[in-house]
Structure 1
Amino acid sequence: MVSRHGRPLAVLTSLFFMWGLITSLNDILIPHLKALFSLSYVEAMLVQFCFFMAYFVVSLPAGWLLQRIGYQRGLVIGLCKIGVGCLMFYPAAGSHAYPLFLGALFVLAAGVTLLQVAANPYVTLLGDPDTASSRLNLTQAFNSLGATVGPMIGSVLILGAADHAAGTAADASSVQGPYLALAALLFVLAVVVALFRLPDPRRLAENRAELSGSWPSATAGEGSLWAHRHLVLGAVGIFAYVGAEVSIGSLLVNLMAEPQIAGLTVSEAGKWLSLYWGAAMVGRFIGSALMRKVSAAKVLAAAGLVNATLIAVAIAVSGPVAMWSLLAVGLFNSIMFPTLFALAIEGLGALTSRGSGLLCMAIVGGAIVPLAQAMLADHWGLLPSFIVPLVCYLYIAHYGGWGHKPVGPAVGEIRAGLAGGTTAVQGA
C-alpha cells in the first residue's frame, strides 16, 4: 500500500519541506527589517503577527474551499498564493514600505495555511491506517529539514546585507532576489502538482471506512466541544507551544548579536539559528523512539519542564550560556505539537473533526505570544522578556502531568470522527 502511493507521498513531502523553509525565513526577516526600518521589537514582531494570524482567519474558509474544489486543486492554489506573496516582496522592497512587507506575509501565509489544511490529512490517507502516524512524522521531519535550511540560506542572502544596513532603500533589495527565486520555484512546483495524477483523497477515505466498517454515525458532529475539558486545555497548550516556539526563534538572532550574550554579527547568528530548528528535527526521531516505552503525556510533561529550566538558566546566567540554553530548547520542542494534538482529541469520537479545527485555530498563538514578549523586550530588555515562553512551557508541563486527562462525555470511536473531517496539523 505504501509503495503504491510512494510517488504521491514524495510530492506531498516536498510541500512540507517548502513551507518549513518559508516559515523559518521569518526569523531572518525580523532582524533584517528591524534594522532596516529602525523598528521596536513590537513593530518588528508584526511579521509573525501577520503571518500566524492567517491561520486564524483562513483555516475554516480553507476547509470549505477544499470541499468544493478538491484537495489537489487546493494544493495548486495554495502554492500559487504563496508564490504571489513572495512576488509581493519585490515592490515592498522597491518602495521601502514596511506595511507592504506585512501584506505580502499575510498573503504568503494564507497559501501556507491552505497547504496545511490539505496536505496533512492527505498524507494520513496514503497507505495503511496503522502507519498513518509514521508517514506524518516522516513528512514533518522534512518540514523540520526545510526549517533548518531556511535560516542558512537567509543568513547568507539576506542578513549578510543587514550587517551593513544603514536604513536605505538599497538595503531592502537584499530580499528581492531570494523571494523572486522562491516564487519561481513555487510556481514550478504548482505546475508539477497540477500535472501529477494524485489519488482522490475522498475515495481513499471512503475505501478505508468501508474496509474498517467505521462509517461516521448519524450523530456525528453533535454535542459541545467545551464539555471536553482536556480538549479546551489542549487548545491552550497548542496556543502556548506555537507561541513559545515562534517567539524564541524570532528573537534569537537579535539576542545572539548582543555583546553581553555572544556578540555575533546578525549573519553569523542566523547560521547558528539553524541549530534551533535542526534540533527539533533530531528530537522527532528520539521522541518517537522514547514514546514506545514511556507514555506520551509523561514525555510531554518532562519536555515542558526541561524547556522551562533551560530558559530560566538563560535568564539567570546570561552570556554564551544563555545562547546555548535557548538553542537547546529546540530539541525538546520537537515532540510537543503532535503529542499535544493527540492528547487533546483523545476520546472525542464523532467530535474529533470539530476538535481538530479548534486546535488548528489555536495556532494563532504564533501571532499573539511573540507580540507579548516583544512588549516586554521593549520595556524590560530582551533577555528578561524570555519569561513569556518560560510560562508557556510550564503550562505545557502541567497539561502533560494533569490537564490532558479526559473529563467529559464518554469516550467514543476516534476513527469514526477522523473519517468525517479534515485535520490540519502543523509540522512545528
Structure 2
Amino acid sequence: MKKPGADRYRPAMILTISLFFLWGMANNLNDILIAQFRRAFTLSDFETSFVQQVFYLGYFLLAIPAAMVARERGYKSAIVLGLLLYALGALLFYPAAQQGEYRYFLVALFVIACGLAFLETAANPLMTEFGDPTKAARRLNLAQAANPVGTVAGVLIGKYFILSDMTHNEASIAALSPAARSILLRSEVQAVQTPYLIIGLVVLGFAIAASVIRFPGKADQEAIEPGHTASFRTAFRRPQLIAATIAQFFYVGAQVGLWSYTIRYAEQNMTGMIERDAADYLFASLVLFGIGRFVGTALMSHVTPPRLLRIFAMASLCLSVGAAITGGQTGLVLLVATSFFMSIQFPTIFALGVSGLGPLRRVGASLIVMAVIGGAVLTGAMGFLSDRFSINAALCVPALAFLVVIHFAMRDHKQASVVDDSLAH
C-alpha cells in the first residue's frame, strides 16, 4: 500500500519528531528530582526511588490502553491525549509545591508517565506512515536523534533551574533552627515550580497544535486470528519473545537505576561535591549514551546484533563492577563510561524479541514495552541496598541485570541477523 506523501504530512512529522525530545527530557528530569527531593523532604535513598517507581508504573499500566487508542481512534487521538496528560502532570507540580508534600509530586509524575506511554506507543510506528516506505528507517533515525538531545536538555534544566549551588548535608540542615530549616526546605521544594510550569504550558501548546494538524488515518489493522486474547496466548508461547521481555525488564532497571543514582554516587565518592557539580557527570553519561548509539548502529553493519549486544553488555558489567569496587574519581569515571555501552541495548533487545513474529509483532512489542516496569523495581532495590550498605554496594543490582542481558544475547536468534532499529528507545 502506498504511503501518504511526506509533504502532505510534513507538519505532523515535525511535531512527531519533537515528541522524542519531549519524553527524553521528562525521563531524565527524574534523575534531578531524585537528588532534589532527597534533600527537600529528607528522604532515604529507597524513598527517593519512589520517583521512578510511580513513573514506570504509569508506563506499565498505560502501554496496552495506549495501543488500543492508537488502533481504534488513530495516532492523532493518542498523541493529543498523551500530550494533554503530560501537560496536566507538569502543571500539577505547581500545586504540589504549594502543598509541600512528596506524595503530591508522585501523583504528578504518575500522570506525566501516563501521557508518555501514549506518546511512545504512537510515535515510533507513526514515523513509518510518513512518505516513502523505503525511507522509513531514515525518518525514524532522524526522530530518534531528538531523544538524547531531550535527555541532555532535561539534565541542563535541572542543573541550572532546580538544583541549588549550595552545599547542604543532613548534619548541617539538622543544625539549623526550626524556622531556618523550614525556610530552606521550602525553597528547595518550590524550586521545581517554575521549570515544570513552563514545561506544562509548552506541552499544552504542542497538544493544541497536534489537535489542528492533519495526521495519517487510523493505523492499519493486522490480521491476527483468532482475536486479541488468543494473540496474547500465542505470544506467550514464543520463548524468544519471553526471553526478550525478561532481558528488557532487567536492562531498563539497570539503565534507570544507574542514572537515578549517578548524582548520589558522585556525592558519596567525591568529598565536598555539591549536587549541581555532580549533575555534570550525569550530563556526560547522557552525551556518551548518544554517541554510543550512533557508534553501535554503525558497528552493526559489521557485527551481528546479538554478538554486539553481548559485547556491550559485558563491557557494562565490567564497568559497573569496577565502579562498585574502586570508588572515588576512578569509580565515577567508570560509572559514566557505562552509559556508552548501554546505548544499543534497549533497541537491540526489542528488535531481537519481535523478530520473526509476523502478525504477532504488535502484541509482542506491547509486552516488551511493559517490561520497562523494571525501571521501578530495580531502582527501588538499589535504594534499599544503598540505605543499608552504600551506593557502591547498590551497583551489584545493575551488574546482575547486565548478566541477564548477556545470557539473552547468547541465545540462538535464527532470524536476528538484522536489527530493526526503528524501535530504538
Name the SS of the counterpart of 2:152 in structure 1: helix
Deviation at 1:300, TM superposition (A): 0.3
Deviation at 1:78, TM superposition (A): 1.0
Distance of 2:166 and 2:30 partners within structure 1: 14
Deviation at 1:4, TM superposition (A): 5.7
Report the counterpart of residue 21 of structure 1 in structure 2: 25
**1:291-330 map, 5 Å:** 291-330=300-339
Report the counterpart of residue 259 of structure 2 in structure 1: 249
Q: Could you give the per-residue CA deviations for residues 114-169 of structure 1, whole angstroms, max 9, x where no partner exists?
A: 11111111012223434433332321221111001111110111112674575622
Check whether the contact 1:52–1:363 (CA below 8 A) recurs between aligned residues: yes
Change (3 A) 1:68 1:4: closer
* 1:181 has 2:191 as partner: no
Report the counterpart of residue 246 of structure 2 in structure 1: 236
Report the counterpart of residue 359 of structure 2 in structure 1: 350
Report the counterpart of residue 104 of structure 1 in structure 2: 108
Distance of 1:177 and 1:72 partners within structure 2: 29
**1:7-406 map, 5 Å:** 7-160=11-164, 163=167, 166=181, 168-202=185-219, 205=220, 216=223, 222=231, 224-258=234-268, 260-261=269-270, 263-402=272-411, 405=413
Deviation at 1:400, TM superposition (A): 1.1
Check whether the contact 2:324–2:331 (CA below 8 A) recurs between aligned residues: yes
Distance of 1:424 and 1:135 partners within structure 2: 9
For 2:413, the aligned partner's letter is K
Deviation at 1:401, TM superposition (A): 1.8
For 2:149, the aligned partner's letter is L
Stretches of structure 1 lacking an aligned partner (at least 5 in a row): 207-214
Name the SS of the counterpart of 2:302 in structure 1: coil
Report the counterpart of residue 212 of structure 1 in structure 2: none
Range with bigger deviation, 310-319 or 5-14: 5-14
Distance of 1:270 and 1:313 partners within structure 2: 21
Stretches of structure 2 lacking an aligned partner (at least 5 in a row): 174-180
Q: Could you give the per-residue CA deviations for residues 235-268 of structure 1, whole angstroms, max 9, x where no partner exists?
A: 011111111000000000111112x336421011
Check whether the contact 2:75–2:215 (CA below 8 A) recurs between aligned residues: no
Distance of 2:112 and 2:386 partners within structure 1: 27
For 2:266, the aligned partner's letter is M
Name the SS of the counterpart of 1:80 in structure 2: helix
Check whether the contact 2:70–2:218 (CA below 8 A) recurs between aligned residues: no
Distance of 1:31 and 1:322 partners within structure 2: 19
Deviation at 1:330, TM superposition (A): 1.1
Deviation at 1:316, TM superposition (A): 1.7
Distance of 1:217 and 1:42 partners within structure 2: 43
Distance of 2:271 and 2:244 partners within structure 1: 36
Distance of 1:336 and 1:138 partners within structure 2: 19
Range with bigger deviation, 119-128 or 238-247: 119-128
Distance of 2:407 and 2:142 partners within structure 1: 28
**TM-score for both structures, normalised by structure 1:** 0.88
Q: Could you give the per-residue CA deviations for residues 372-395 of structure 1, whole angstroms, max 9, x where no partner exists?
A: 111111111111110100111121
Distance of 2:98 and 2:165 partners within structure 1: 16
Change (3 A) 1:378 1:132: same
**TM-score for both structures, normalised by structure 2:** 0.89
Distance of 1:245 and 1:380 partners within structure 2: 21
Check whether the contact 2:253–2:377 (CA below 8 A) recurs between aligned residues: yes
Query: Runs (4+) of structure 1 moved beyond 3 Å?
Result: 1-7, 127-131, 161-167, 215-223, 260-263, 423-426
Check whether the contact 1:116–1:424 (CA below 8 A) recurs between aligned residues: no
Report the counterpart of residue 211 of structure 1 in structure 2: none
Distance of 1:86 and 1:163 partners within structure 2: 27
Deviation at 1:348, TM superposition (A): 1.4
Q: Could you give the per-residue CA deviations for residues 314-353 of structure 1, whole angstroms, max 9, x where no partner exists?
A: 1121111111111111111111111101111112122211
